[in-house]
Structure 1
Amino acid sequence: MTWLGNGDPDARQSSSTRSRVLPETGNPPCQSVSIDAFIPPLVKSRSTTPTIPPARTTASQSQPNTRIYAQYRLVMDHSISPCPPPGGELNIQDLELMMQWCTTTYRSVSRNSTVEGIWQGVVPREAMRHPFLMHGILALSALHLASATSSNTGASKEDYLRTAKSHQQQAVAGLAKVADHLDRSNCNAAFALSSIMVVFAFAFQGNPIPTVNTQSNALDALMDIFQFTRGSIDVQGEIIEWVADGEFSALLEYDNSQPKMPDTSRLAIMSLARRNTNLATKDPTHEKDVYDATINHLGFSLDKLARGGETMIIAFQWIFRIPSRYVELVRERKPFALAILAHYAVIIHSLRGHWWIGEWGTRLIRDIGQHLDAGWRESISWVIDATGCYIPPV
């Protein structure tokens, strides 16, 4: 496996070289941004460790893209106050977080071993030039450490969570600054951060600690993540051709090496399509076109899953492609919208081995089951068979 995905032997750095991912001491601190009102004051650095390099800014970049910022705030729990970050300076904890990324967390966003080198070495190197990406790396690393911290050390766990939120806010603020000025110089950093933040969203909302996850049900939490994730396509859509033409191109390649599974989903998709037609016949207000599009995309995703497609890509592609109206129908708890979502939960369930997904699929299926009566539960029988999830009687 090549380190960068481009076959360059010089890019295979030694472990000692790869560990030097932080800038040299003496760099100037980050330039302040006009979104300070949204970012809490940072704690003073506890050491004389290096600073994050300043972002390249121009007069035209002085105003952040508030729409991007608003999308990324959706999944955050505002009952948890973030640890104040150190005015752009990295401290000992930040060094710990970077070590965590380079040894473990990078695998969280690597779909397989062929691209691990990019996430482990190239992305941190890119983060040296773009502070918003550096903060994204540190945010996910802190959340990963929080998830792995024993429950009997609650203070340490909460410290990591506060740190994760702090770095996440700074990453979002930094991305908002450049979102309207994306080019070849920052496209890789923006692409990497948007991917990291999607994983962060699932992990943060799925955190089992009551003080962090105030959402009482998986449905509302997932819809927030959907809205947040769909917002990131605005960033990725503008830069995808640049990314495909550069050092990160391997991240966009389709993986044909995954093992194939028996395709039992086609009959389930056909059943959903028939039910959609029947509902439209009985109810002229039934939004058949919205459901048709959603079912078609779901059928495509489940088919790719059965043929051995990369599960992470499949899971996120469906979120990007579904009509926005469908998300509203789920929020309105329309039974047919929920039945379709239960079928999507099979894909989420197949990712349960990832720490940032865990029992998301099971939680989602159970929550959906509680909103469906006996008649509608029949429509998700394939879901129950495919996942083995148990739904308590109504």
Structure 2
Amino acid sequence: MQCVYGEAGPRASPVSPQADGAGNNGLYDALDLLLMHRFATVTALQLFPSAEATHVWQNILPVSAHTEPLLMHGILALAGMDLARMDSDARSTYRTRAFHHQQMGLSIFQDMLQGDSAAQIHTVFPFSLMLVILAFASAHSEAAEPSVDAILDLFALFRGPRALATANYTAIAESEYYVLLRPNDTKPPPGLSDEVVRQAEKLRAIGSDDIARLATKQLAEAIEVSAQRFDLRVIGRWPAMLSEHFFARLKQHHPEALIVLSHYSIVLAAFRDRWWVGPWDRMLLSAVSRALPESEQTRLDWRMEQLESVLDRHAGVSDQVESKT
């Protein structure tokens, strides 16, 4: 039989890893293939550590990304940030490509939010989580540490997934993405250490009015959860649940509110070993120290050194819990 080839369709031209990805007319090149391989084999395993959530990141989302450009851009951005920390020689290349995909995804994301986001919830909800992770990861290699105001901008990202989940809870609950919202964990949590109990009690005693008491109660609960389970979602619990009144105090750099904020570093320290969290506990503590005048530190009996020792004892506790369970 005669062998006849059909007309060749459009293909992406081979490009070097130094390409910036801006001129490929929406197609993906060799560097993007490398990023997808990294995501499926390494990056996805380091996002949410529960087995159910890892299955979603590693298997469900890459398949969905085949037909959803928003998810594809998010996946490749995450992998680019992950690789940027591993390869010093190509760090600039990976970061540039990661930011390229993040910006491409943001453009699509904003268009979807302006339209019928409920109809696209299975796409916009996972991407909203990716944005939070990307914000954490990108700060690691910045020349300057984040300020309190920059950290509060990050908190605003946490409130996005919460709003989407609240408005579309039924649709998410009936999908495979539900494990990204609520874990399926039936194991009894281990007991709390004396140090964690002391810090939680100290926090609960700080609140001087109903607004502060609610914020400190919520943060104390988050600290306790971070010491008992290896669920990274606890990182976003406190920023997402904060009342607008307390959030306003943080924006105004209210001294007592900043003291409360400094204790959020304990939650972050529990997940220091995760690549996208890394040294965020120390960066937060340093930002509060710069924003809080020395006179207020003295008046409120707040010393950065005391919390630093707590962070070091609490660091990596989530991975210790994971290995035990």
TM bucket, shorter chain: 0.7 to 0.9
- 1:83-162 equivalences in 2 (<5 Å): 84=22, 86-150=24-88, 153=89, 156-162=90-96
Match for residue 253 of structure 1? 183
User: When the two structures are superposed, what TM-score results if normalisation uses the length of structure 1?
Assistant: 0.67
Q: 1: CA distance between counterparts of 2:205 and 2:118? A: 46
Q: 2: CA distance between counterparts of 1:273 and 1:245? A: 36
1:95 positional shift: 0.8
1:332 positional shift: 2.7
Is 1:334 the counterpart of 2:258? The answer is no
Q: 1:181 aligns with which of 116, 140, 151?
A: 116
Q: 2: CA distance between counterparts of 1:271 and 1:259? A: 21
Deviation string, structure 1 residues 61-82 (Cα, Å, up to 9, x no partner): xxxxxxxxxxxxxxxxxxxxx7
Match for residue 47 of structure 1? 14
Deviation string, structure 1 residues 151-173 (Cα, Å, up to 9, x no partner): xx2xx211211111110111111
Amino acid aligned to 2:141 = P
User: When the two structures are superposed, what TM-score results if normalisation uses the length of structure 2?
Assistant: 0.80
> Does the 8 Å CA contact 1:85/1:167 hold for their aligned counterparts?
no
Q: 1:262 aligns with which of 168, 186, 193?
A: 193
> Does the 8 Å CA contact 1:343/1:380 hold for their aligned counterparts?
no
1:125 positional shift: 0.7
> Does the 8 Å CA contact 2:133/2:276 hold for their aligned counterparts?
yes
> Does the 8 Å CA contact 1:106/1:119 hold for their aligned counterparts?
yes
Mean Cα deviation higher: 219-228 or 245-254: 245-254
RMSD: 2.8
1:331 positional shift: 3.2
Q: 1: CA distance between counterparts of 2:162 and 2:24? A: 31
Can you give the 5+ residue segments of structure 2 that lack an aligned partner in the other structure?
1-7, 314-325
Alpha carbons of structure 1 residues 96 and 329: separation in structure 2 relative to 1, 3 Å: same
Deviation string, structure 1 residues 272-315 (Cα, Å, up to 9, x no partner): 444433xxxxxxxxxx3321221121122123234x23441111
> Does the 8 Å CA contact 1:142/1:164 hold for their aligned counterparts?
yes
Is 1:360 the counterpart of 2:289? The answer is no
Q: 2: CA distance between counterparts of 1:383 and 1:92? A: 46
> Does the 8 Å CA contact 1:269/1:299 hold for their aligned counterparts?
yes
> Does the 8 Å CA contact 1:301/1:314 hold for their aligned counterparts?
yes
Aligned pairs, how many?
295
Q: 1:235 aligns with which of 161, 164, 181?
A: 164
Amino acid aligned to 1:238 = A
Match for residue 383 of structure 1? 307
> Does the 8 Å CA contact 1:345/1:361 hold for their aligned counterparts?
yes
Poorly superposed stretches of 4+, deviation over 4 Å: 379-382
